[in-house]
Chains A and B, each alone.
Chain A
Amino acid sequence: MKVTILDYGAGNVPSVERAFQRLGAESLRTDSAAAISQAAALLLPGVGHYSALVRALDEKQLRAPLIDAIHRGVPFLGICLGLQVLFKSSEEAGQLQGLNFLPGIVSALPSNVKLPHMGWNQLKRKCDSFLLSGIPDEVYFYFAHSFAAIEANGTAVATCSYGAEFAAVIEQRNICAVQFHPEKSGDAGARVLENFLRMAA
């Protein structure tokens, strides 16, 4: 099973690659529409500003092949911004359109807590999750973000609370997404990536 990693110029692609290497899994980083169309499994990493990701998808003409692949049922994992872009839009860049696979918009975390939400936090499980299978409930994951899917937290299989409750893990058919960084979350994060590989195989 080879995972195709969308390398749109930002985001921490090398650490995602290294995380798969440690699992003995093959990965291919690409910004080519053709490679996305042929992918057996897709991963969209991302960290930083929402607009950087959306603009890069459009400038490199990756939006249509990515949407097609997800519609065809290709297993997809979005990380951080890769989760946020699945929604209709984000308050971080209100004029830009997301991929619109999930209803609702991404909004700013409330300002009564320190932002960015940076560091290790725990999850609240809402229902059975294959990405989290084999991982104890109390485990921490590494987050680094200021915007989150707060409105859509009801559709998540696990949420996290920081100022507000937001979607931390989403699993809908072939669409998987996590707000935290599994590639930076130690052994627990590696297990999440391993579970994705197993689901994709």
Chain B
Amino acid sequence: MSLAHRIIPCLDTDGARVVKGVNFAGLRDAGDPVALAARYNAEGADELVVLDIAASRDRRPMFLETIRLVAAELAIPLTAGGGIRTLEDGRAVVRAGADKITVNTAAVERPQLISELSREFGAQAVVLAIDAKRCGDHWDVLVRGGRESASLDALEWARKGVSHGAGEILLTSVDRDGTQMGFDVSLTSAISLAVSVPVIASGGAKLPGHFAEIFKDGAADAALAASIFHDGIQSIRELKQFLSAQGIEVRLPC
């Protein structure tokens, strides 16, 4: 009996539709967020993440409506983010039905944002998203959707984010994202051992073995993927059965 490793599908949206693409310019429509949310809820997903990757001000009302519609489908926790810059932005997504808020670029620019959200909603509701890229002997933090270096060491930023009140880290390997070569084990284990909060590994998943590896060797508490679930390359139910057979504790759907 112990805490189950979580499998988390992620919906990247342009506000109203799920989009995907190996680079920002090549986005294509990948479906209706509400239909996907209902499917993942039924398939045994442990949580769902919805990100507004466009994060533009004029599309914000559409994104909030998407959160409302998605939340209505779920009997599992919902994390939402993308473009959260202020406490008021955080309140809006929580009011729309999110249980947790992710922050990224704005938290790098103003770490107090983490403390403000944590004080209001509790640490369990604040997820610090870190996009990390290998740079010599360390990992550099990238911001603005992975387009710009923040000139921060990822390990140091993770520790600082936790000390400001983040209750979880959503760690994306920019090197692996979109490659389907597997999660970044060395990055994930380094961050997971450096902080006292759960770490969600993201970027590079394709095969069931990639998930087994990130839980066994990468010390990940949860693993996130998007397109392999949307496109039906990997079913959550079968993935969990595979992991369970490998002796990895997961919540098997009834």
Q: What's the Cα separation between A122 and B2 when bound, in Å?
A: 7
Residue of A nearest to B197 (CB): A114
Residues from 41 to 95 in B contacting A, C-beta threshold 8 Å: 41, 46, 71-72, 75-77, 94-95
Stretch in A26-34, A83-91, A186-194 with 4+ CB within 8 Å of B: A186-194
Does B229 interact with chain A (Cβ within 8 Å)?
no
Cross-chain contact of B75 among A118, A146, A190 (Cβ < 8 A)? A190
Does A183 interact with chain B (Cβ within 8 Å)?
yes
Residue interface mask A87-118, B partner, CB < 8 A = 1: 00000000000000000000000010011111
Q: Is the interface of B mostly helix, strand, loop or mixed?
A: loop
B205 to chain A, nearest CB (A): 18
B43 to chain A, nearest CB (A): 11
**Known contacts A22-B75, A161-B1; A118/B251 CB under 8 A:** no
Q: What's the Cα separation between A52 and B71 when bound, in Å?
A: 24
Stretch in A11-19, A36-44, A65-73, A126-134 with 4+ CB within 8 Å of B: A11-19
Does B196 interact with chain A (Cβ within 8 Å)?
yes
A173 to chain B, nearest CB (A): 29
Q: Are A184 and B75 in contact (CB under 8 A)?
A: yes
Q: Are B75 and A189 in contact (CB under 8 A)?
A: yes
Q: Are B99 and A12 in contact (CB under 8 A)?
A: yes
Residues from 1 to 42 in B contacting A, C-beta threshold 8 Å: 1-4, 6, 41
Q: Are B222 and A119 in contact (CB under 8 A)?
A: yes
Q: What's the Cα separation between A115 and B198 when bound, in Å?
A: 7
Q: Are A118 and B198 in contact (CB under 8 A)?
A: yes
**Known contacts A140-B251, A146-B124; A114/B198 CB under 8 A:** yes
- List chain B residues, Cβ under 8 A from A183: 75
- List chain A residues, Cβ under 8 A from B2: 121, 161-162
Q: Are A146 and B4 in contact (CB under 8 A)?
A: no
Cross-chain contact of A15 among B99, B120, B122, B196 (Cβ < 8 A)? B99
Q: What's the Cα separation between A123 and B60 when bound, in Å?
A: 40
Chain B interface bracket (under 10, 10 to 19, 20 to 34, 35 or more): 20 to 34
Of B75, B94, B119, most A-chain CB atoms within 10 Å: B75
Q: What's the Cα separation between A14 and B78 when bound, in Å?
A: 12
Residue of A nearest to B46 (CB): A120
Residues from 128 to 165 in A contacting B, C-beta threshold 8 Å: 136, 139-140, 142, 144-146, 161-162
Does A64 interact with chain B (Cβ within 8 Å)?
no
Q: What's the Cα separation between A161 and B1 when bound, in Å?
A: 8
- List chain B residues, Cβ under 8 A from A47: 99, 121-122, 124-125
- List chain B residues, Cβ under 8 A from A124: 1
- List chain A residues, Cβ under 8 A from B46: 119-120
Q: Are B3 and A14 in contact (CB under 8 A)?
A: no
- List chain B residues, Cβ under 8 A from A140: 4, 251
Binding site for A on B (CB under 8 A): 1-4, 6, 41, 46, 71-72, 75-77, 94-95, 97, 99, 119-125, 167-168, 196-198, 221-222, 251, 254
Ordered by A's residue number, 13 sampled pairs between the chains whose C-beta atoms are within 8 Å are A12-B94, A14-B95, A22-B75, A47-B121, A48-B124, A114-B198, A116-B167, A116-B198, A144-B124, A184-B76, A185-B75, A186-B76, A187-B75
Known: A49-B119, A142-B77, A184-B75. 16 other contacts (CB 8 A): A18-B72, A116-B167, A118-B124, A118-B168, A118-B198, A119-B3, A119-B46, A119-B222, A121-B2, A122-B1, A142-B76, A146-B123, A185-B76, A186-B76, A188-B254, A189-B75
State the 8 A-B residue pairs at the shortest beta-carbon distance, nearest first: A48-B122, A144-B124, A140-B251, A120-B4, A116-B124, A120-B251, A122-B1, A186-B75
